[in-house]
Amino acid sequence: MSELLRWIRRLFVGLVLLTIVGIVAVALRPGVAPEPLLANQGTPRGARAPRDGGALDSTLAAIRFAAPFQPTRTPAAPFSAASTPPPSQIPRPTLVLTALAGGRDPSAVLEGLPGVEGARVVRVGDTIGGVRIRSIRVGRVVVTGLDTLWSLMLREP
């Protein structure tokens, strides 16, 4: 276990050193002038023009231009649960398992599937009206869809 901790520590130190080297390399690269954030917008009211066009000065000018902490800025409208519409209630169908057929490719007869009149023969993986047949076992069919899980059992006569 201590060998694993040593290996993780070495990996961490290596990643930290690699990050530091990358930051230094980007900061010291020659011949690349930073672009101002507020290009072609002029100097905002109350802000001074950047001294040398540096990235820090243009970032500060953008923050001053947005004025996030000024007294004249109005707060956003408060969020309330009453203002959001209630989630739509999806009518859930009443599914009934009427018959099962076993074998290599089991099938079942279901009634009440959305968009289907009467009974329908289904197999595992079928999707009908947003309802998917997950499994067919002896005496039971598992169906999912419409935010519901049905476990339908075959009624004994």
Work out the pLDDT band at 38, boundaries 50, 70, 90: very low
Work out the pLDDT band at 15, boundaries 50, 70, 90: very high
Q: Is residue 83 part of a domain?
A: no
Residue 142 predicted with pLDDT over 90? yes
Work out the pLDDT band at 16, boundaries 50, 70, 90: very high
Residue 50 predicted with pLDDT over 60? no
Tokens linked to 35:
């672009």
**How far apart are the C-alpha atoms of 35 and 90, rounded to whole Å?**
52
CATH number at residue 106: 2.30.30.830
Q: How far is CA 41 from CA 69, 108, 148, in A?
A: 21, 69, 54
If one counts the domains in the chain, the total is 2
E-state strands within the chain: 96-101, 107-111, 119-123, 127-128, 131-137, 140-145, 148-153
Looking at mean pLDDT, say which of 42-51, 73-82, 128-137 comes out highest.
Answer: 128-137
Which stretch of 3-12, 72-81, 87-96, 134-143 has the lowest confidence by average pLDDT?
Answer: 72-81
Structural domain range at position 44:
2-66
Q: Please check whether residues 61 and 6 belong to one and the same domain.
A: yes
